[in-house]
Chains A and B, each alone.
Chain A
Amino acid sequence: MAGQLSIAKALNEALRKSLESDPKTVLMGEDIGKLGGVFRITDGLQKDFGDDRVIDTPLAESGIVGTAIGLALRGYRPVVEIQFDGFVYPAFDQIVSQLAKMHARALGHVKMPITVRIPFGGGIGAVEHHSESHEAYFAHTAGLRVVSPSNPHDAHWMLRQAIESDDPVVFLEPKRRYWDKGEVGEDPMLPLHSARVVRPGTDATLIAYGPMVKVCQEAAQAAEEDGRRLEVVDLRSLSPVDFATLEESVKRTGRGIVVHEAPVFLGLGAELAARLTERCFYHLEAPILRVGGYHAPYPPSRVEETYLPDLDRVLDAVDRALAF
């Protein structure tokens, strides 16, 4: 798989490999067949694998996830596409009360190897319900695993790992990065739930995932011109969280800043800040800070740049952390 691939193409290749390697893998979703999905992530797959394995569904998200559960009970390995983040809520019961709990309710007698792919996040100038970051709802639910790649390599390998997992995985795709290109390596390099230091530094640790990793890398680059060396950690897995990697980094830098598009209040950053404070208390030079969306409905697109964390807001938080 040498060469530069977009995240979209890397995901498409991952789905293709999964369909090839396991006859029990099936894809389900709205418009994923002939159209190839509204983002073309499933482009060409129905043509190559048939409509029996790449299944266009009725427009009913609860129905998609609910029937995927039934297929999993029959021994299938469904990969479900929710068309946009804001459309997943009709399936909330099926994900949170049915999918997440089935294995425990059956005392381990059944497994739920279902991947729920959701394009998430803003920054694409969309109409409402097309730009949301709802990861905290899912990460809060025991029984689910939640991951989000930030680059083509991870997009490819993490999706294959998610599909291979016998537990349900909510797979959040950073839709504004779909067309970013990068190298996809020949092996995954990391287990699904490991974080990765993507830029080493000494003065503070920026923690991000999905679409915000790139923003943090750009912020670190800009800070370097001011003589500040920022470390950037790509969380990759939101549940479980690789606290060992985070702890090692924050203890070394003494400062941590969590960046996500989701609202700050009770967002993933709240949990990371609390746990890192417990683990790194005597190493901290400043409180763990958070940069994220505001406690308001996701705004109309003409003002979404105000809502979304950007390079300046990240650097502003870095200034505040360093001022302690």
Chain B
Amino acid sequence: MTVKSTSRARKKAAPGVPDPARAGVGAEPELVQLLTPEGDRVEHPEFPLTVTPEELRSLYRDLVLVRRFDAEATSLQRQGELGLWASLLGQEAAQVGSGRAMRTGDHAFPTYREHGVAWCRDVDPLNLLGMFRGVNNGGWDPNEKNFHLYTIVIGAQTLHATGYAMGITKDGADDAVIAYFGDGASSQGDVNEAFTFASVYNSPVVFFCQNNQWAISEPTTLQTRIPLYRRASGFGFPGVRVDGNDVLAVLAVTRWALDHARTGQGPVLVEAFTYRMGAHTTSDDPTRYRQTEETEAWKAKDPILRLKAHLEKEGLADEAFFAGVEAESEKLGLRVREGVRSMPDPDPTLIFEHAYSEPHPLVDEERAEYEAYAASFEGGEHH
């Protein structure tokens, strides 16, 4: 598509007004990158990273298994086993890189798309699928793996993360928190309030924005006129844009950000510049609002292919390794398929189960009413 409006073209060229649609694309210096799309290792003076071949292989395994799990969930939705799925396709490096940067005591507050972070926190993938199948609304224990519940209301979790971080400070602990959100959420009041609270209380929280360029059908240009990471400066803390498809850069930048936070230096905003390769969710149709050319261009920056290219170029992994990961991926797919298909519906009385933690007469009364009503059908033709 050609740009027809000359006024728009002029506006783009105006000095001092960065074009967010183009910002960070290509080799702009502000984008931290440690692994090129071709798989070549580059250095960044501020974010050095030493990784062993074993760590590289482990990251590759994470990326492949996370993508496989995600693809399996998309298929299960198509087969009617899940009501909905929000695919992370394309964002594996942003999630695995940041997830692996965390220490055991750190906490993650996710949106509904952080399947790769959950993987790194050792959350059973099947736990994530309960809400998409409709058997619960989350259900896992957030404190077991320090991975909090998925949050669907956009941006709300950034405040929970900030409050949690305030608690860490009170406890005198040196843990840190990552608040995950997206480019769309950056417009939400809650996110801006979280920036304010974290800033004035100097809380140990890393705001990790996966800028995947699209909030359903709305491009980032509808959320911001400046690159998102620069929002941080207005709140008084550092912001960094990292190549979100470069797992090594994300790992290095997030590690730095978490250390910055946990050592009492306050919050950091990391903007992981990436791309949502798939639809917003399985209910979405991106062909109505974006061009195939754009998606194709991002394919060349694929996070898995570039790490594979690196491993191959440097001779750090052999065929047996790749075959092993592939076999493991098949096994994971099978486990997820079987696990979802055999996931039982809850007993209807689950409705009443956890409305309150302490006894509540109205809930008890309505449960009794329901149970009596249900029992009236027992042995009858309706049951």
Q: Does B358 contact A (CB under 8 A)?
A: yes
Asked if B137 contacts A101 (CB within 8 A), the reply is yes
Query: B161 within 8 Å of A by Cβ?
Result: yes
Q: Which of B153, B166, B363 interacts with A97 by CB under 8 Å?
A: B153
Q: B141 touches which one: A93, A106, A193 (CB < 8 A)?
A: A106
A66 CB contact (under 8 Å) in B163, B165, B354, B356: B163
Residue of B nearest to A26 (CB): B170
Question: When the two chains form their complex, are residues B355 and A94 in contact, meaning their CB atoms are under 8 A apart?
Answer: no
Q: Which of B170, B171, B353 contacts A108 (CB 8 A)?
A: B353
Of all chain A residues, the one with the shortest Cβ separation from B163 is A70
Report yes or no: B137 in contact with A93, Cβ–Cβ below 8 A: no
Asked whether B164 lies within 8 Å of A74 as measured between CB atoms, the reply is yes
User: Which one of A57-65, A116-124, A181-189, A289-297 is at the interface?
Assistant: A57-65
Q: Which residues of A contact B324 (CB under 8 A)?
A: none
Q: Is the CB of A109 within 8 A of B142?
A: yes
Selecting from B93-101, B186-194, B260-268, B285-293, the interface stretch reads: B186-194
In the complex, the answer to whether A73 meets B164 with C-beta atoms within 8 Å is yes
Instruction: Let me know if B159 is at the binding interface, CB within 8 A.
Output: yes
Determine whether the beta carbon of B357 is less than 8 Å from that of A70. no
Residues of A bordering B, CB below 8 Å:
26, 52, 57-58, 60, 62-63, 65-76, 90, 93-94, 97-98, 101-112, 142-143, 145, 165-167, 193, 239-243
Which of B143, B161, B356, B361 is the one whose CB lies under 8 Å from A110? B143
Is B354 within 8 A of A63, CB to CB? no
Expressed in whole angstroms, the Cα–Cα distance for A90 and B165 within the complex equals 22
Q: Which 7 A/B pairs are nearest by Cβ-Cβ distance?
A: A70-B163, A66-B159, A74-B167, A67-B163, A63-B193, A109-B141, A70-B164
Nearest chain-A residue to B366 (Cβ)? A142
The one of B141, B159, B193, B358 in contact with A70, judged by C-beta atoms closer than 8 angstroms, is B159
The answer to whether B171 and A165 touch across the interface, beta carbons within 8 angstroms, is: no
B165 partner residues in chain A, CB cutoff 8 A: 70
- Are B163 and A69 touching (Cβ within 8 A)? yes
A residues near B367, Cβ cutoff 8 Å = none
Given the interface pairs A67-B159, A90-B189, A105-B149, the reply to whether A143 lies near B170 with Cβ below 8 Å is no
Query: Least Cβ distance of B100 to chain A in Å?
Result: 23
Contacts of A94 in B (CB 8 A): 156, 159, 190
Kindly state whether residue B200 has any CB partner on chain A within 8 Å.
Answer: yes
Known: A106-B149, A110-B143. A69 touches B197 (CB 8 A): no
A241:B362 contact, CB within 8 angstroms: yes
Counting chain B CB atoms within 10 Å of each CB, which of A104, A112, A193 scores highest? A104
Shortest CB-to-CB span from A58 to chain B, Å, is 5
Using Cβ atoms and an 8 Å threshold, which residues of chain A touch B196? Answer: 58, 60, 63
Instruction: Indicate if the CB atoms of B163 and A71 lie closer than 8 Å.
Output: yes
Q: Tell me whether B360 is interfacial, beta carbon within 8 Å.
A: yes
25 A-B pairs, CB-CB below 8 angstroms? A58-B200, A60-B196, A62-B159, A63-B159, A67-B160, A67-B162, A67-B194, A67-B197, A69-B160, A69-B163, A71-B166, A73-B148, A73-B167, A97-B153, A98-B153, A98-B156, A105-B137, A105-B149, A106-B140, A107-B354, A110-B142, A110-B143, A167-B356, A193-B361, A239-B362
Closest to A239 in B: B362
Known: A70-B166, A167-B358. 17 other contacts (CB 8 A): A58-B200, A66-B162, A66-B193, A71-B166, A71-B167, A73-B143, A74-B163, A94-B156, A97-B156, A103-B354, A104-B137, A105-B138, A106-B142, A109-B141, A109-B142, A241-B362, A242-B361
Please indicate the chain B residues that have their CB under 8 angstroms from the CB of A142 in the complex: 355, 363
Residues facing A in B129-171 (CB within 8 A) are 136-144, 148-149, 151, 153, 156, 158-168, 170-171
Name which residue of chain B comes closest to A166, CB basis.
Answer: B357
Given the contacts A98-B156, A241-B362, A76 and B170 also touching, CB distance less than 8 Å: yes
The smallest beta-carbon distance between A6 and chain B, in angstroms, is 30
Q: Are B168 and A74 in contact (CB under 8 A)?
A: yes
CA gap between A63 and B155 in the complex, in Å? 11
Interface residues on B, range: 35 or more
- For A58, list chain B residues within 8 Å (CB): 193, 196-197, 200
Query: Which residues of A sit under 8 angstroms from B170, Cβ to Cβ?
Result: 26, 52, 76
Cβ contacts under 8 Å, B164 to chain A: 70-71, 73-74
B190 touches A63 (CB 8 A): yes
Expressed in whole angstroms, the minimum distance between the Cβ of A213 and any Cβ of chain B is: 22
Q: What chain A residues lie within 8 Å of B190 (beta carbons)?
A: 62-63, 66, 93-94
Whole-angstrom CA separation of A225 from B169 in the bound complex: 62
Inter-chain CA distance A107–B346, complex, in Å, is 12
Name the distance in Å between B50's Cβ and chain A's nearest Cβ: 33
Q: In angstroms, how far is the closest chain B Cβ from the Cβ of A22? A: 14
Is the Cβ of A104 less than 8 Å from the Cβ of B354? yes
The reply to whether B163 and A105 form a contact with Cβ atoms under 8 Å apart is no
Smallest beta-carbon distance A177→chain B, Å: 27
A212 to chain B, nearest CB (A): 22
Chain B residues 215 to 252 lying within 8 A of chain A, measured CB to CB, are none
Interface residues of B in 159-217 (CB under 8 A from A): 159-168, 170-171, 189-190, 193-194, 196-197, 200
| CB of B198, distance to nearest CB on chain A (Å) | 9
> Measured between C-beta atoms, what is the minimum distance from B130 to chain A in Å?
9
Cross-chain contact B139 with A73 (CB below 8 angstroms)? no
Q: CB-CB < 8 A to B358: which residues of A?
A: 165-167
Asked if A62 and B163 make an inter-chain contact with CB atoms under 8 angstroms apart, the answer reads: no
Considering the chains assembled together, what is the distance between the CA atoms of A96 and B139 in angstroms? 19
CA distance A62 to B188 in the complex (A): 11
> Using Cβ atoms and an 8 Å threshold, which residues of chain A touch B159?
62-63, 65-67, 69-70, 94
Nearest to B170 among chain A residues (CB) is A52
Instruction: Return the chain A residue nearest B152 by Cβ.
Output: A97
Question: In chain B, what residue has the closest Cβ to A61?
Answer: B193
Assembled-state Cα–Cα distance A76/B169 (Å): 12
Proximity bits, B343-371, A CB within 8 Å = 1, else 0: 00000000001111110111100000000
B231 to chain A, nearest CB (A): 16
Given that A106-B140, A167-B358 are known contacts, is A57 also in contact with B197, CB under 8 Å in the complex?
yes
B151, B165, B166 — most chain A CB neighbours (10 Å): B166
Contact assessment for B139 and A105 in the assembled complex, using a CB-CB cutoff below 8 Å: yes
Would you give the shortest CB distance from A67 to chain B, in whole angstroms?
3
